[in-house]
Amino acid sequence: MGNSSADSVSKLKRLDEKLTALDYQQKVLFLILLALAVYGTFIVADFFFVGGWINSTFGPNPDLDIYRERAQAILDGKILYKDIDLESPPLINYLFVPPQAFGGSDWMYQIWFSVFPLLTGLFMYLTMRKWDEKHAFYAAILSVLCPYAVVDATFGIQDEPIVAFFYLIPVIVFLAGYARTSAVVGTVAAWVKMLQGLIFPNLLIKMKNNKERLLGIVIGILVSLLIIGPFMIASGEGIIDLFHYYFLTEGDNASGGMSLINLLIRGGVDIPSSAGIIITVAVLLLSYFIAYRYKLDIWRSAMLTTVLFLCVYPMIRLGYFIIPFTFFSLWAVKDKNVFFKLIIMYVLLFIGQGIEAEGIPFLASIDGWLISFAFVLAGLLVMLDITRTCLKAKCLLDIPIDTSN
């Protein structure tokens, strides 16, 4: 037993030495090959082995047909919100066009969605290597291997890997030293998925002074008008559904997914939609105050806002946890306790999601909302514990910048 443990440690040490010895071009190539191997294996497994079982057990993916319909409408020259009803921001629909243009098969969407975790890892590494070459590379590896992203991009064929990339890229751009550009990128990202708008205040808080903050707000308004203006003109009142959906003003859309509020509602608890809005806004304001009061860096600031939001927002899905997982990766590569807690968090939330969606066969015949609530709550508590550790412990961003790179 002792020899086996020593051999494992020795092998990991040799692997570490080999990976550390790579130059940055080789590390970029390694990340690309890693993504090809992992995501490619899952796509092949889905195509030849498990895809049929997944569809027969859990039912066909309802979202994929929606992606196809919207992308094909764009290819056919139709006007969003006028010729086709939808509640999502406009830009995400254009990101469905490439796989649809190449035939729209399941595996084309899987390949396309798999590109975005790779892009997230590459941007993380190339930006953060100036602080710590080794740990930036390992954090990028962990980001590429994020289990939420791997499953959603392949077996699940969900767009959350795209959402996570656009959520994180403004923060990465800010870290790269381009505050004004991050405001542009952040605004564009918000019109991919409005979820990203949550951390726009975090970008403003970390800008140098009030003049820069005012400029950031102006940038946000102007870029928003340039993006959404043409759709408002072309579609008229049709675009109102977008704002109804995201601000929970439609009764049927007041809650959803694996959120604690939605699970309580499924259990018979009467929670008005206004309560979800009030709680969410209060928690967001609290996160911004903490970020400002304690002068959190942009990574920790956005991390805190994201975590608190996911704990209370009435409509969440498992794929959204790609985002906190990526934030936590900077600590997980140095702290094995954080790493193992990330695994525990994933297992708890995965089970909770499976029960909520009635995707676990032996629980499908009972009302499992309470069991699901317990697993999701446990997963969220683990996430909050990881957040507490990350706010207190140092990560690679606390290291003086290595000017040799």
Lowest mean pLDDT among 384-388, 395-399, 400-404: 400-404
For residue 162, is it within any domain?
Answer: yes
Q: Is the pLDDT of residue 219 over 80?
A: yes
> 34 pLDDT band (50/70/90 cuts)?
very high
> 365 pLDDT band (50/70/90 cuts)?
very low
pTM, entire model: 0.93
> 401 pLDDT band (50/70/90 cuts)?
confident
> 334 pLDDT band (50/70/90 cuts)?
very high
Identify the residue with better confidence: 62 or 165.
165
Span 66-74, mean pLDDT? 96
* Contact (Cβ atoms closer than 8 angstroms) between residue 162 and residue 95: yes
Predicted local distance difference test score (pLDDT) of residue 248: 52
> 299 pLDDT band (50/70/90 cuts)?
very high
For residue 262, is it within any domain?
Answer: yes
> 254 pLDDT band (50/70/90 cuts)?
low
Return the amino acid letter for 143.
Answer: S
Token readout for 84 is 């086709």
**Computed from CA positions of residues 149, 150, 151, 153, in that sequence, does the dihedral angle turn out positive or negative?**
positive
What's the mean per-residue pLDDT of the chain? 90
**Which percentage of the chain shows pLDDT scores above 70?**
90
- What is the count of structural domains for the chain? 1
For residue 404, is it within any domain?
Answer: no
Identify which of 11-20, 225-234, 333-342 has the greatest average pLDDT. Answer: 333-342
For residue 10, is it within any domain?
Answer: no
Predicted local distance difference test score (pLDDT) of residue 5: 64
For residue 250, is it within any domain?
Answer: yes
Predicted local distance difference test score (pLDDT) of residue 4: 61
Closest CA to 322 of 121, 135, 129: 121
Alpha-carbon gap, residue 322 to 308, rounded angstroms: 15
For residue 211, is it within any domain?
Answer: yes
- Residue 362 belongs to what domain range? 19-398
> 13 pLDDT band (50/70/90 cuts)?
confident
> 249 pLDDT band (50/70/90 cuts)?
low
Neighbours of 251 (CB within 10 A): 9
Span 4-24, mean pLDDT? 82
Q: Please, what is the end-to-end C-alpha distance for the chain in angstroms?
A: 42
Closest CA to 258 of 366, 361, 156, 380: 380
Predicted local distance difference test score (pLDDT) of residue 51: 81
Q: Is the pLDDT of residue 50 over 70?
A: yes
Alpha-carbon gap, residue 101 to 115, rounded angstroms: 16
**Computed from CA positions of residues 198, 387, 136, 342, in that sequence, does the dihedral angle turn out positive or negative?**
negative
For residue 264, is it within any domain?
Answer: yes
Q: Is the pLDDT of residue 304 over 90?
A: yes
Using one digit for the tens of pLDDT, what is the confidence trace for 152-193? 999 999 999 999 999 999 999 999 999 999 999 999 999 999
Token readout for 181 is 């550009």
For residue 9, is it within any domain?
Answer: no
Predicted local distance difference test score (pLDDT) of residue 366: 53
Alpha-carbon gap, residue 382 to 394, rounded angstroms: 19
* Contact (Cβ atoms closer than 8 angstroms) between residue 88 and residue 242: yes
Distance of CA 283 to the CA centre of its chain: 19
Predicted local distance difference test score (pLDDT) of residue 306: 98
- Look up residue 292 and give its DSSP letter: H
